[in-house]
């Protein structure tokens, strides 16, 4: 294995002459593990619990993918029936520049089959093949109503509160059932393997009294219909709050678009005009970042992204 670019490595194991070439991909970087996420064990120490699962940041996404690649190579004892090329990335969870790397090194990606070891299965012990994923389009929206904070006791009532306005904007993104309410966004029924509500709830672990959102089957809602979430909010914290009206509030919105749709053509929330934002730039208006995962071709087998476990 040798480095070819920042935080990325490749390796090649030659197969018999004239045999196909298979590229295997996985990533070793992980998401942050903030204490506010509710960890009951050290996220950086793999912990085997009574349910037989290993808990730790990245245990499933995507250290297990790396293990599966290593296990595949060991199974063939260094003599695979085809040429195997491995691509291991260290920036998948952040601003991945894999697309630029592919364009700069197309020879590394010439193959007969490309397998991404970055998914899961519907049930333990039951292998599956994933052929489609929803894409991701995100934007940051900022609401400004005042030049500066105002005392709520003096100005509250007729004066618009930026945080309250933002909350109403966010609530307009879904209907009463919880389905995406952005006009014209692509969606439909799922034609592959279904996931039962029981299996979904076993992984999602909703709190008592909390109901699922949306209409259609679980598979429809996971793989064939769009979803939209507010994944971050910037405003005054409770600890720093006082009796003032907020002049500004921001939220980052993530929208999952269905396989086969064009991320550049999909409708945007509130019909705003989207534009790519340079990496690291401050976004004070709604602006769409490039999808980190582009939708794959038409589906031939079930998609299998189960609810993630920490």
Give the residue among 69, 83, 75 at the shortest CA–CA distance from 20.
83
- Say if CB 252 and CB 232 are below 8 A apart: yes
For residue range 281-309, list pLDDT tens digits in order.
Answer: 333 344 333 333 333 322 333 333 333 33
280: left (phi over 0), alpha (psi -120 to 50) or beta: left
So what's the pLDDT on residue 291?
35
Quick one: what percent of the chain has pLDDT higher than 70? 84
Rounded to whole angstroms, how far apart are CA atoms 84 and 70? 12
CA distances from 77 to 63, 70, 72 (A): 21, 11, 9
Work out the number of other CB atoms within 10 angstroms of the CB of residue 201: 13
pLDDT band at 269 (very low <50, low <70, confident <90, very high): confident
Query: Kind of pairing, strands 227-234 and 248-257?
Result: antiparallel
- What 3 state SS string does the chain have? CEEEECCEEEEEECCCCCCCEEEEEEECCCCCCCHHHCCCCCCCCCEECCCCCEECCCHHHHHHHHHHHHHHHHHCCCCCCCEEEEEEECCCCCCCCHHHHHHHCHHHHCCCEEEECCCCCCECCECCCCCCCCEEEEEEEEEECCCCCEEHHHHECCECCHHHHHHHHHHCCECCCCCECCCCCCCCCCCCCCCCHHHHHHHHCCCCCCCCCCCCCHHHHHHHCCEEEEEEEECCCCCCCCCEECCEEEEEEEEEECCCCCCCCCCCHHHCCCCCCCCCCCCCCCCEECCCCCCCCCCCCCCCCCCCCC
For 216-244, what is the mean pLDDT?
94
Tell me the two tokens of residue 302: 């079930």
For residue range 57-83, list pLDDT tens digits in order.
Answer: 998 888 888 888 889 889 998 889 999
Query: Kind of pairing, strands 113-116 and 21-27?
Result: parallel
The residue ranking higher by pLDDT, 242 or 300, is 242
List 29, 136, 194, 199, catalytic entry: 29
The residue ranking higher by pLDDT, 310 or 187, is 187
- Decide: pTM greater than 0.85: no
Establish whether 29 is a catalytic residue.
yes
CATH level 3 topology of 135-187+226-289: Alpha-Beta Plaits (3.30.70)
pLDDT band at 3 (very low <50, low <70, confident <90, very high): very low
15 phi and psi angles, rounded to 5 deg: -100, -170
- Say if CB 122 and CB 223 are below 8 A apart: no
Q: Where are the domains of the chain?
A: 2-116, 135-187+226-289
Establish whether 118 is a catalytic residue.
no
Exposure on the CB side of residue 221, measured as CA atoms within 13 A: 18
List 92, 118, 161, 266, catalytic entry: 92
Query: What class does CATH assign to 2-116?
Result: alpha beta
Asked if residue 205 has a cis previous peptide bond (ω within 30° of 0), the answer is no
Q: Is the pLDDT of residue 93 over 90?
A: no
């Amino acid at each position: 294995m040798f480095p070819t670019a920042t935080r990325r490595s490749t390796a090649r194991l030659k197969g018999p002459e004239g045999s196909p070439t298979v590229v295997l991909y996985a990533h070793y970087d992980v998401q942050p593990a903030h204490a506010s996420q509710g960890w009951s064990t050290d996220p950086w120490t793999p912990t085997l619990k009574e349910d037989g699962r290993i808990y730790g940041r990245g245990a499933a996404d995507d250290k297990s993918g790396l293990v599966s690649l290593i296990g595949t190579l060991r199974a063939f004892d260094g003599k695979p029936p085809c040429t195997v090329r491995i691509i291991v990335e260290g920036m998948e969870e952040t601003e991945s520049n894999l697309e630029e790397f592919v364009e700069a090194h197309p020879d590394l990606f010439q193959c007969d089959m490309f397998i991404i070891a970055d998914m899961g299965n519907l049930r333990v012990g039951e292998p599956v093949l994933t052929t489609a994923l929803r894409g991701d389009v995100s934007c940051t929206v900022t609401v400004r109503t005042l030049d500066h904070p105002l005392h709520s006791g003096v100005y509250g009532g007729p004066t618009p509160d930026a945080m309250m306005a933002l909350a109403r904007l966010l609530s307009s993104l879904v209907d009463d059932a919880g389905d995406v309410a952005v006009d014209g966004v692509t969606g439909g029924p799922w034609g592959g393997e279904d996931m039962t509500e029981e299996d979904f709830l076993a992984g999602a672990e909703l709190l008592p009294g909390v109901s699922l959102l949306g209409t259609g089957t679980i598979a429809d809602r996971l793989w064939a219909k769009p979803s939209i979430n507010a994944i971050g909010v910037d405003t005054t914290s409770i600890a720093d709050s006082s009796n003032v009206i907020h002049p500004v509030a921001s939220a980052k919105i993530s929208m999952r678009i269905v396989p086969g749709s064009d991320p550049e053509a999909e409708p945007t929330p509130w019909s705003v005009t989207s534009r790519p934002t340079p990496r690291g730039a401050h976004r004070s208006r709604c602006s769409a970042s490039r999808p980190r995962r582009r939708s794959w071709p038409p589906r031939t087998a079930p998609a299998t992204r189960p609810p993630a476990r920490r």
